[in-house]
Structure 1
Amino acid sequence: MRIAVLGAGAVGGTLAALLHRAGHDVVVTARGEHGAAIARDGLLLTGGWGDHRARVRVVDALVAPLDLLVVTTKVHDTAAALEAAARIDGTPALVVQNGLGGEAAVRDALPHSPVAIGLALFAASLLEPGHVDVTGPNPLVLGGDPAAVAVALPALRSALPAEVTVADDIVGAQWTKLLVNQVNALPAVTGLSVQEVVAHDGLRAVLTRGMRETATVARAKGLHLARIGAVGPDEVALLLSDDPAAGEAVPRALAARMGDVPNPASTLQSIRRGRATEIDALNGVVVAAGAEGGVATPVNALMVELVHEVERTGEFLDPAAVLARLSASPAQD
C-alpha cells in the first residue's frame, strides 16, 4: 500500500517505521529538526519491536494516489496539519491520537474520506530528532467507519508485532482510553515518569481519583467502557467502588505493563520539547463532559490548570506542591 503518515512524532514515527518495514510505500510529514533528520538519515526505530531504519520520504503536501492516510498529530494541531492533505479528499483515513476531537477535524477537512479511529496502547518516545523508541510494545484497537477499517486493518496487522483488534463500540473504547490517558497529566506536571508517579503514594491516590472521575462521567453519559489492554469493566468497577484504595490497583497494573524503562507519557514529551500539550483534549474533555452531566471533576480540572501552568513557566512542581494545590482546590469529592 501507499501510505502517508501525517505527523511522524513518537506514535506516528513508530507506525511509519513499522509500515515501512512491512513493505509498504510510506511518506511522512514532520516538522523542524525531526523532519530534517528523517529526510537526511531516515527514521530510526528502536526498542520493544526491534531496530529498523526506515528510509521514508518527508513531504510538505500529500498527493494522490494514496491508499491510506494516518493522522497522528496532536488533536489541537489536526486542522492546520490537514492543509497538507487538501488534495487527497476521499482517501480512507486512520486517526491515531490521544484525546477526543481529532476525528471530527478530519471529517470536516476531508468530507469524502471514510474515517477509522485507532487507539494505540503501545508507548513510544521521541528520543532525538529522527529516532523513536518503543518502550511499551502493546496492542492497538481499531474502530469507526467500516470502509476505512477495511483498509487500515490489514495494513496494521501486516506491520505491528502486536495484536490489532476491532472494537464494536469505538466511542466507549475511546473513553476507556481517555481513562487510561489519565497517566499523562501528573508526569507533565512533575517531570516524573509514569512509573515514578504510580510508585508515589500521594500521586497514585490523585491519579486514581482522576480515573474515578472519568469513569463517573462516562457512566453519567450512558457509555459502556469496554476492555482495552489492562482496563475494562472489572477495573472500572474497582474505581467506582466504595473503597478508594481498591481503585489504586488500576494505575499499578498500567505501570506494571510499561516495564522498567521509564515512560514519560506523551504530554511530558510535549513539555520537554516546548510544544503545546493535548491536555485540553484529555482531562479537559472530562471536565467539559462532567459540567454537562452535573458531575464534579476537581482533579481533572486541577490537572488542566497545572499542565497549562507548567507550559507557561517551564517549571515542574514537586509532589508535595501538587498535593497541596489539590487540598486547596475549591471543589472536593
Structure 2
Amino acid sequence: MRIAVIGAGALGGTFAALLSRAGHEVEVTARGAQLAAIREHGIRLSGGFGESTALVAAAEVLTARPELLLLCTKAQDAEAALAQNMGVPGGLDGVPVIVVQNGLDGVATAERLLPESDCFGLLAIIAANYTTPGEVRITTAAPSYLGRGSGPADAATKHWQAVLSGAVPVIAQDNFIGAQWTKLIVNMLNGLPAITGLTVQEVVGHRRLRLAMTRSMREAVRVAVAHDVHFGALQGLSDARLRLFVRMPLALGQILPLSMKWRMGSVPNLGSTQQSLRRGQPSEIDFLNGAVVREGAAVGIPTPTNAAITALVHEVERTGEFLSPELALARLAAAA
C-alpha cells in the first residue's frame, strides 16, 4: 500500500520505518537536516521495536497521492502542513487520514480541510527520542489507539487498525474522544521536563516537582469532568480511576505520575516537548497544558498550575535556558 507520512519526526519517523519494514511503499515529508539525513541513509530505528533502517522516499512536500495518509506533525503545524501538501497530483481530499498528534483538535482540523476524507485519530503512547537527524530511538514500546467519535469503534476504524497492526501494535479504541482526554492527562508528563531540562523519570522522582505535576493532572481531570467527558480506558487509566484520583488528597494522588513512571521504564525519556526545545523548534505546549487552560476557562474551572507551566515553557522557548528545579518551583508557587 502507498502510505504517506507528513512530518517525519520522532513518531512520524517511527511509523514510517515500521510501515516500510512491513512492506508498504512509504513517502515522508521532512525539511533541513532531517530531510538530508533520510535521503542519505534512510530512517534508522533502534530501541523497543528493534534495529532497522528504512529507505523511504522523502521530500519537502508529497510527490504522489497516497492510499493512506498519516499526519504526524506537531499540533500547531497540522493545518499548514496539510495546506502545503494539497497540491499533490490528484489532491489529498478523499484520502483516508490518520492524525497522530497530541491535544484535542487534530481530527477536527483534518475533517475541516479534507471534507471528503475519512479521518481518524491515533493516540501514540510510544516514547521516542529524536535528537539526531534521521535517527529515532524507541525508549518505550507500547500500543497505539485508533478511533474516532465517542461511540464504539466502527468498521472503518477496525479496517485501518488491521492494516497498521501488520507493522506496529494498534488497538481499535472505543470512545475515542474520551481517550483523547485520558491521553491529555498522560501528556501532563511533558511540561515540567521541558522547563527544567530533566528527564520525565527525574521529574517524577523529585518530590516537589512530582506534586506540581500531580496538581496539573488534577486540574486537567476537573476540567474534563466539568465538560461531561467520560474518560476512555487507556494504558491502565479509566474513567473510574481518574475520577477517584481527583477526589484523593494531593499526597495520595502522586501515585498516578509514579505509576506512569513505572510503565515508562528506566531508559531516560526527555518528553516530546523538551525534545522540540532542544532542537530549537516551537513546542506544542499550547495544545497540552494550554488546552487545559482554555477548556477550563470555558467552564469556569481555575487552572493556575497549567497556566504557569504553559508560560514557563514559552519562557524557555524564548531564552533557550532551562530553569533549575528550585527556580521552577518558586515561579510555579508565585503564579499559583
Q: Which residue identity lines up with residue 149 of structure 1 in the other structure? A: T
Residues 34 and 130 of structure 1 are in contact (CA less than 8 Å); yes or no, is this contact kept in structure 2?
yes
Q: Which residue identity lines up with residue 83 of structure 1 in the other structure? A: A
Residues 195 and 255 of structure 1 are in contact (CA less than 8 Å); yes or no, is this contact kept in structure 2?
yes
Matches within 5 A, 1:119-268: 119-144=123-148, 146=154, 149-160=157-168, 162=169, 164-268=170-274
Paired position in structure 2 for 1:102? 106
SS at 1:240 equivalent: helix
Q: Which residue identity lines up with residue 275 of structure 2 in the other structure? A: Q
Q: Which moved more, 1:13-22 or 1:222-231?
A: 222-231
Matches within 5 A, 1:78-97: 78-86=78-86, 87-97=91-101
1:216 & 1:273 partners in 2: Cα distance?
33
Q: Which residue identity lines up with residue 7 of structure 1 in the other structure? A: G
Seq. identity, %: 49
Q: Which runs of 5+ in 1 are unaligned?
A: none
State the TM-score, normalizing by the size of structure 1: 0.95
1:270 & 1:289 partners in 2: Cα distance?
24
SS at 1:309 equivalent: helix
1:226 & 1:108 partners in 2: Cα distance?
24
Paired position in structure 2 for 1:73? 73
Distance 1:26 1:158, change over 3 A: same
Q: Which residue identity lines up with residue 273 of structure 1 in the other structure? A: R
Q: Which residue identity lines up with residue 288 of structure 2 in the other structure? A: L
1:59 & 1:72 partners in 2: Cα distance?
15
2:50 & 2:301 partners in 1: Cα distance?
44
Q: Which residue identity lines up with residue 184 of structure 1 in the other structure? A: N
Shift of 1:100: 2.2
1:115 & 1:147 partners in 2: Cα distance?
13
Residues 94 and 148 of structure 1 are in contact (CA less than 8 Å); yes or no, is this contact kept in structure 2?
no
SS at 2:146 equivalent: strand
Q: Which residue identity lines up with residue 299 of structure 1 in the other structure? A: T
Shift of 1:79: 1.4
Shift of 1:151: 4.7
2:141 & 2:221 partners in 1: Cα distance?
26
Shift of 1:196: 0.2
Paired position in structure 2 for 1:4? 4
Q: Which residue identity lines up with residue 160 of structure 2 in the other structure? A: A
1:98 & 1:178 partners in 2: Cα distance?
7
Q: Which residue identity lines up with residue 12 of structure 1 in the other structure? A: G
Q: Which moved more, 1:304-313 or 1:224-233?
A: 224-233
Distance 1:108 1:147, change over 3 A: farther
Q: Which residue identity lines up with residue 26 of structure 1 in the other structure? A: V
Distance 1:234 1:250, change over 3 A: farther
Q: Which residue identity lines up with residue 48 of structure 1 in the other structure? A: G
Residues 92 and 147 of structure 1 are in contact (CA less than 8 Å); yes or no, is this contact kept in structure 2?
no
Q: Which residue identity lines up with residue 95 of structure 1 in the other structure? A: V
Q: Which residue identity lines up with residue 34 of structure 1 in the other structure? A: Q
Shift of 1:60: 3.1
Paired position in structure 1 for 2:58? 58
- Offset from partner CA, 1:264-321 (integer Å, 9 cap, x none): 0100000000000000011111101111111110100001100000000011111111
Q: Return the match for 1:283 from 275, 281, 289.
A: 289
State the TM-score, normalizing by the size of structure 2: 0.94
2:95 & 2:85 partners in 1: Cα distance?
10
Q: How many residue pairs get matched? A: 328
Shift of 1:35: 0.9
Residues 271 and 311 of structure 1 are in contact (CA less than 8 Å); yes or no, is this contact kept in structure 2?
yes
1:59 & 1:274 partners in 2: Cα distance?
21
Shift of 1:61: 3.1
Q: Which residue identity lines up with residue 252 of structure 1 in the other structure? A: L
Residues 188 and 216 of structure 2 are in contact (CA less than 8 Å); yes or no, is this contact kept in structure 1?
yes
- Offset from partner CA, 1:34-66 (integer Å, 9 cap, x none): 111001111100001101100000023335542
Q: Please, what is the CA RMSD of the aligned residues?
A: 1.4
2:301 & 2:240 partners in 1: Cα distance?
22
- 1:41 is the counterpart of 2:41: yes
1:203 & 1:155 partners in 2: Cα distance?
41
Residues 182 and 210 of structure 1 are in contact (CA less than 8 Å); yes or no, is this contact kept in structure 2?
yes
SS at 2:198 equivalent: coil
